[in-house]
Chains A and B, each alone.
Chain A
């Protein structure tokens, strides 16, 4: 007999007059790892809130561990023992791993904390996970993967029978993701259940027995992953995106004359002798398999620090503060991290134009000219709109157009597809194509390949701070089968690609 852990039955939930969840049904049994594939973002934040807390709902029933905890007639606002692990840390930064796991636990009543006892108690849990992690490590010093494991152990110790993992594949490298999945399987065998949220069905398929396809706040279908190959889910706009990927030409035109960006024997922080040459108009994906060097690399490329050793050149010249505009860094989730709500749309757009037009802030004429020129493509109404009120699409347009105006030699895109739904991925893809079309090199920094691979001319894999392997487009078929769009690179699909010539 199966043991039901969660059952959300015909949930309808409104937020600010908008129906976020409608006819939403999802059930998870004990020991099961269920995937959730959100085709778009509608309803996903609401779902997470409803899992954590029994908030008022318009209609429906929520059962947790066989007990009716929330229904349309009465919501008691109580909290469920359901843990949500996200890319943002849920740990107290200044406490150690052991403190986070035990002291912050509900029901912990000891007044004197004996660190040795806590460490001893934590040891079997850490041993179970097989991760080399010290109980005394401060949470602030944990990188993403150990932090995920710590939060997982914390949830297990706290007695959460259901643990939600928010897009682990977008922040954890492939190798570490395998380890995480082994840990999940171990806990699933012990009766813990998981809801594995991923934008990529291929990723969820590796670990989940069932995957729920969520679109516009309703579960369209729950598929058995063993019986359902990814090709069967070419709908909900995924098809258009797939075709766009398949139409991708075999590489972008590049100029070999002068490298746009060259790193020779760079050492800084966790970077230990990194060599990389990017030619003009080339798209390179730099995958950090350990997720160690990205922050250090961004620091160097933003000209905030100089490397301890090695040479970093842009367009053949050493990167200095005065040449900082020759590299544009597009941070991850740029719509949240790269826009200034207190500034106007125009100010946001011209933010990095000072090197090309020194008088941009003194004279109105250049800005009027830019508005006139870009108005038709960006939409004339956006210029008068407060930045916070722009749609996600308009925000992405703003960020990438700023980079286009800046006209750097190299654009560094940090996890560009992170947390983007299918529509946004298509837009980001097109925006990066525009950058490449202007001869700007694009370097995608990623821990997980996700959608980046299909756009890339080259894949550079970095492990322990130095280059481990370099793959050209011809070599992509030799990547592991779990790599997104892997089918595209192997024989049959290459033939299919010929059927979709780029118009």
Chain B
């Protein structure tokens, strides 16, 4: 079996002992060397051993130490949660226990549940009895139909469908098609408010449409972003607003671009929002429920990070008075088998 130290402190002890032996060799050599001719050889051997020791110190101590230091600093900056898992070596048994403790505190499943709760928070405020809500909406619809108010009936129906999807379907992942349907329902409700001022366009390459629509994505990924686009983008815009959902896929990646042609945001606000998204670890560490802005985006981003890893997630692009794009990158998951391969979900 290959022997390997677990802690840097063990390496330090071993290398200190080796250094001691080298010094001892030098001292003993000095005492023993009676002839002048033996000195160069003694010095050469000591020098070679010393250089070798320096090399080993670099490989075993300095490099892992720097790596560990960088990972911890990135974790503290909020960039990454996974960096703690990737630490190849701990400084000492006590620091290893400390890391384990922090990892336990930041347990992915726990965070995922917390994040899901945050995502559904607003929608679940009235979840004391969802059936009561559906029944009430159905009653309103019936009354509206009897009174000949078709638009009220349609609106009530759309609201019921929206709530049913949001509250009742509790799976982690849904198909893109289901999520898009929910977006269209949400958009239909908003259109009662905005009328023809607001338009929604869904673009997808016809060749890839079937495959893309079968892909699984976290529930309530698109609707909060669409809502953001309406509230922060097009609502403040003078004139008509257009929302666009563009779906593309590569071999391994599903990219969804939610765009609005609203008021956009300045460079500083954009950088701040992307900072929040990139440093999603910070949101978990601080266990924040309230942010300065972009709550929905941060929440969706956190769920994606927890479900699929930090290489996926959200990014925002924006130019003032041109519009905002939210790009969502996700892995291609089309079947339940692929779904179960995800450690967090299983």
Contacts and interface: CB of A to CB of B under 8 A. Distances in A.
Report if A and B associate in a common complex: yes
A59 B278 contact: yes
A298 interface: no
Nearest to A10: B278
Given A23-B315, A220-B267, A233 B322 contact: yes
Interface string B19-59: 00000000000000000000000000000000000000000
Interface in A214-235: 215-216, 218-223, 228, 232-233, 235
Contact of B248 (A2, A61, A71): A2
Contacts of A10: 274, 278, 313, 315
A9 interface: yes
Secondary structure call for the A interface: strand
Given A12-B278, A215-B267, A73 B253 contact: no
Contacts of A1: 207-208, 211, 249-251
In this complex, the member of B83, B249, B251, B311 whose beta carbon has the largest number of chain A beta carbons within 10 angstroms is B311
B325 interface: yes
Interface string A36-71: 000000000000000000000001010000101001
B156 to A, nearest CB: 37
A36 to B, nearest CB: 14
Nearest to B265: A220
Nearest to B319: A221
Given A23-B274, A220-B270, A236-B267, A2 B317 contact: no
Interface residues of B, number: 36
Nearest to B266: A235
B12 interface: no
Contacts, number: 85
A23 B278 contact: yes
Contacts of B318: 220-221
A7 B325 CA distance: 17
Nearest to B267: A215
A203 to B, nearest CB: 19
A475 to B, nearest CB: 33
B319 A220 contact: yes
B79 interface: yes
A213 interface: yes
Interface of B: 71, 74, 79-80, 83, 86, 205, 207-208, 211, 248-253, 255, 267, 270-271, 274-275, 278, 311, 313, 315, 317-323, 325, 327, 329
26 contacts: A1-B207, A1-B208, A1-B251, A2-B248, A4-B253, A10-B274, A10-B315, A12-B278, A22-B271, A23-B271, A23-B275, A23-B278, A29-B250, A59-B80, A66-B250, A68-B311, A71-B311, A216-B267, A218-B270, A218-B271, A220-B318, A221-B318, A223-B319, A233-B319, A235-B322, A236-B267
Interface of A: 1-4, 7, 9-10, 12, 22-23, 25, 27, 29, 59, 61, 66, 68, 71-73, 213, 215-216, 218-223, 228, 232-233, 235-236
